Chain A
Amino acid sequence: MTSTVNGTDVKHSTPDGEERPLLEIKDLKVDFTTQEGKVTAVDGVNITLYRGQSLAIVGESGSGKSTTAHAIINLLPGSGRIAGGQILLDGQDISKASKKEMESIRGRKIGFVPQDPMSNLNPVWSIGFQVEEAIRANGIATGRKEVRARAIEVLKQAGLQDADRRLKQFPHQFSGGMRQRVLIGMGLSADPQLLIADEPTSALDVTVQRVILDHLESLTRELGTTLLFITHDLGLAAERAEQLVVMYKGKVVESGPSLEILQNPQHPYTQRLVAAAPSLASRRIQATSHGEEAAGAHELGTEPATTTDTIDLIATAEARAEAHEAAMAQPPAIVIEDLTKVFKIRGSGDFTAVDKVSFEIPKGTTTALVGESGSGKSTVAKMLLKLEDATSGKILVGGKDLASLTGKELFDLRSRMQPVFQDPYGSLNPLRNIGNTISEPLVTHSVGDRASRRARVFELLDQVSLPRTLVGRYPNELSGGQRQRIAIARALALKPEIVVLDEAVSALDVLVQAQILRLLADLQAELDLTYLFITHDLAVVRVIADHVCVMQKGRIVEAATTDEVFENPREQYTKDLLAAIPGANLQLGA
């Protein structure tokens, strides 16, 4: 299964005839000094990367994957320092290189593409200035004209066709995707042997992400650049890299050829990841529903559930689908007709965020509203929740028109329809304790007395699987997933019929995400909830939704059942979105 790259150079071999790796990390250890003492962020990491290969480091937040990448170019943030081990670049240990040596290695030998295109370009200098200074610093060209010519060449290579015209422009005049292209161009400007790409596309829309990754892949292949790629998405990693390194809590738990790991994960943590990755799950569901034997799908990591904590998204999807087949016959809980929202923008006229959107949500089912940033999906949610007024069109909830509600009726309706938002760090008031947060809806609607409200809070904490001891604590002590559970508990306090989930799992790590998706499915079965599930991630939709509405630029371009959309997409845009789910080219279970 090892990939073989031909044309290895004679110079790069060791005396005993074996090819010398371009990058070899041996027992790398990175420490951070905090107020509580030393914290080891990376502990005993070994990575071997040969010329022309591509390797991905996969892990959740806090796994040490980015720290490893930063250690290689010796740009650890804050108090971080390399505490042990070696980083051999072509045989030379660069972890002990001097400042001066390191400066000549960065850019020239190792290129770096950072994560967030919004924050990685200096806002006060033009794009041309920033590319040119990289070229000049690495001695690629001298003289104004030559440097400029090279800058244009580099940017064109990175996919900016009108580079010569745009050199004078500033970062804020570029879109996110364009900025990421600039960063890729910069990383490759000195023609480095190794390119480190740290989650290079996770801040971008899925379709843009795909285009950029394709481009990066063909570009590095063309130039013969060795690629080290950092990502949290196992599907993406397996699709884009030949070799995989799975990290967990600062350690490498498993490494080797991508497909082998994906098809036959050995470490329980990797098994967990494979089972929980939505991109893989949606591919696997795809595979099963295409008539291939279920066993094939199961080979992909679902078999040995060594720990009770392993959550298989497929099981979630199946359980949910069964429970809701019956529900489809009931009258719709929500009817939306020709819903339109126009924002007035000072100076530049009107902007139609939502344009004649119509759909229904049957009671007890989940409808997903899918779209990229700016598609208007969240505005629909806000109008449904009456946090924003519609410009025109109708929203019927339980047969009642939202627009005609009196204050009292609206207040009553609010108890039947509750939201859960995206940002787990912003959705809870940091100064109120968990008990008060969960009971606020009860207090607002004068439900019960103190004692009964307290009992209800305990019941809700049980429902979202959190210990009752949390009532007196504050959100800052909880993780993102736990906060999201609290937000769900708050939403369920008044026993609503409808829950609007606005990107409710998007900010979470995959394992936690799988856990919350499972919780949502269980709660829906238990309480007969109707979900409007808003997301940019089609892979998750496959697991959770019965119906899908795909939104683009304020309009619904395609609406159908989840199976139909996935198996038989009609619109090109839907096809693009589906293709953007990582793992499309992986031979899974075949």
Chain B
Amino acid sequence: MPSNTRPAQAHFVAPIDETPLVAIDSVKAEGKPTNLWTDAWRDVRKRPMFWISSALIVLIVVVALFPTLFTSVDPRFCQLSLSNQGPGDGSVLGYNRQGCDIYSRIIHGTSTSLSVGLIVTFLVASLGIFFGALAGFYGGWVDAVLSRLGDIFFSIPYILAAVVIMSVLSQYASVWTISLAIGIFAWPATARVLRAEILRVKNSDFVMAATAVGVTRLRILIRHVLPNSIAPVIVITTISLASAIVAEATLSFLGVGLPSSTMSWGNDISQAQVDLRTNPQTLILPSIALSVTVLSFIMLGEVVRDALDPKARAQR
């Protein structure tokens, strides 16, 4: 039987040249100064999805602004004799039931979708930021009232609300009224996001430090709180642009959107329903235009979220 001896545990000291000491808390700041925005830009720049979606959006904007660069055919010049004819003879994508050029109608319909998207987004962002910031920053009864108000608007799905409004305002239907009808019920989501973010930021020590220095409330809101809580709003705004375009198309499809005289993808899709069996591309082609536009903004929103939200970045 071997005897059990526990070897003494020696006092070990690592050689100093293998474990050199570094000055305590030395400053290591090199290169260009970085913050959230520069970091985000650096991140976004590396992603192909960013460049694809940006290129598509630039293209869509150019098409919307200068449709005649892309087609010389008058979208309103329709000949029943050409009804449902296929491509060829100077027509890229063929003709619809009314004998109008499909390609030209898609090109000229771009600005409608984009305008509605932009107006709604502007409306949603302004209302959402205004109410969200007030509720979050001032708290108390302001918050209670605004949050309940938001709940009420949020409880009516915005497309249903727009259906009601547009049913009543059918004789006034235009890009502006439809944008208003969508935007007026779509803002609570933005307000909620901003409110939650502001509640988080306003309890930060740097806000307390600013208060302790005597910085005014309004200045604290503008200088310290809003810039630090705006990132999620940017993300949700990009996505809401896409949702607004879909909403317009849905309303037009339901026949309570834009008047049939207005060039709109939703209108064209709606009118092409009856030809689904005989001439499906009259329906499919504007649908593709619509979906690609929406996809561009969704992709952009996705990339922006990944860049601005550290949590989303970690999940990539």
Contacts and interface: CB of A to CB of B under 8 A. Distances in A.
Interface of A: 2, 4-5, 8-10, 12-13, 15-19, 46, 48, 50, 243, 248-249, 251-257, 260-261, 266-269, 272, 307, 309, 311, 385-387, 410-411, 414-415, 417-419, 421-423, 426-433, 440-441, 444-445, 466-467, 469-470, 472-474, 476-479, 481-482, 487, 490-491, 494, 511-512, 515
Contacts of A415: 213-214
A469 B211 CA distance: 27
A430 B212 contact: no
B171 to A, nearest CB: 49
B212 A515 contact: no
A422 B204 CA distance: 11
Given A249-B19, A267-B13, A307-B21, A427 B209 contact: yes
A46 B210 CA distance: 49
B25 A8 contact: no
A444 B10 contact: no
B211 A387 contact: yes
Nearest to B13: A266
B19 A253 contact: yes
A267 B209 contact: no
A387 B212 contact: yes
Contacts of A248: 19
B19 A477 contact: no
A190 to B, nearest CB: 26
Contact of B206 (A243, A253, A427): A427
Given A307-B21, A418-B212, 15 more contacts: A2-B9, A10-B4, A18-B7, A251-B14, A252-B12, A253-B19, A256-B9, A267-B14, A414-B213, A429-B224, A431-B37, A432-B223, A444-B215, A478-B29, A479-B25
25 contacts: A9-B4, A13-B2, A16-B2, A17-B3, A19-B6, A243-B9, A249-B19, A257-B11, A387-B211, A414-B212, A429-B228, A430-B35, A430-B36, A430-B228, A441-B213, A469-B29, A474-B33, A476-B35, A477-B28, A477-B34, A479-B25, A482-B27, A487-B209, A490-B213, A494-B213
Interface string B282-302: 000000000000000000000
B218 interface: no
B211 A269 contact: no
A58 B22 CA distance: 18
Nearest to A252: B14
User: Which 10 pairs between the two chains have the least Cβ-Cβ distance?
Assistant: A256-B11, A17-B2, A421-B205, A427-B205, A474-B35, A414-B214, A266-B13, A481-B25, A426-B205, A473-B33
B214 A474 contact: no
A489 B127 CA distance: 39
B11 A261 contact: yes
B9 to A, nearest CB: 5
Contacts of A469: 29
Contacts of B1: 10
A544 B204 CA distance: 27
A125 B214 CA distance: 47
B18 interface: yes
Contacts of A254: 11-14
B219 to A, nearest CB: 8
Contacts of B4: 8-10, 12-13, 17-19
B87 interface: no
Interface in B70-115: none
B222 interface: no
Contacts of B69: none
B212 A419 contact: yes
Interface string B38-82: 010000000000000000000000000000000000000000000
Contacts of B29: 469-470, 473, 477-478
A255 B14 CA distance: 9
Contacts of B205: 421-423, 426-427
Contacts of A427: 204-206, 209
B169 interface: no
Residue with the greatest number of chain A CB neighbours at <10 A, chosen from B1, B3, B212: B212
A414 B216 CA distance: 12
Contact of A431 (B6, B18, B209, B227): B227
A472 B212 contact: no
Contact of B212 (A385, A433, A470): A385
Nearest to B219: A444
B247 to A, nearest CB: 33
Contacts of B37: 431
A440 B210 contact: yes
Interface in B220-245: 223-224, 227-228
A476 B11 CA distance: 40
A253 B14 contact: yes
B208 interface: yes
A17 B5 contact: yes
Residue with the greatest number of chain A CB neighbours at <10 A, chosen from B21, B22, B209: B209
A255 B224 CA distance: 48
B42 to A, nearest CB: 11
Contacts of B19: 248-249, 251, 253, 267, 269
A434 to B, nearest CB: 9
Residue with the greatest number of chain A CB neighbours at <10 A, chosen from B21, B37, B39: B21
Nearest to B204: A426
Contacts of A48: 9
Contacts of A429: 204, 206, 210, 223-224, 227-228
A5 B7 CA distance: 12
B311 to A, nearest CB: 15
B230 to A, nearest CB: 10
Interface in B190-212: 204-206, 208-212
A165 to B, nearest CB: 37
Nearest to B210: A440
Contacts of A4: 6
Contacts of A10: 1, 4
Interface string B183-194: 000000000000
A515 B21 contact: no
Nearest to A242: B9
A441 B213 CA distance: 6
A474 B28 CA distance: 12
Contacts of A13: 2, 4
A477 B2 contact: no
Contact of A474 (B24, B34, B223): B34
Given A50-B6, A440-B213, A477-B29, A309 B21 contact: yes
Contacts of A253: 13-14, 19
Given A267-B16, A421-B208, A8 B2 contact: no
Contacts of A487: 209
Contacts of B22: 249
A512 B24 CA distance: 7
Contact of B2 (A15, A267, A385, A515): A15
Contacts of B12: 46, 252, 254-256
Contact of A8 (B6, B23, B211): B6
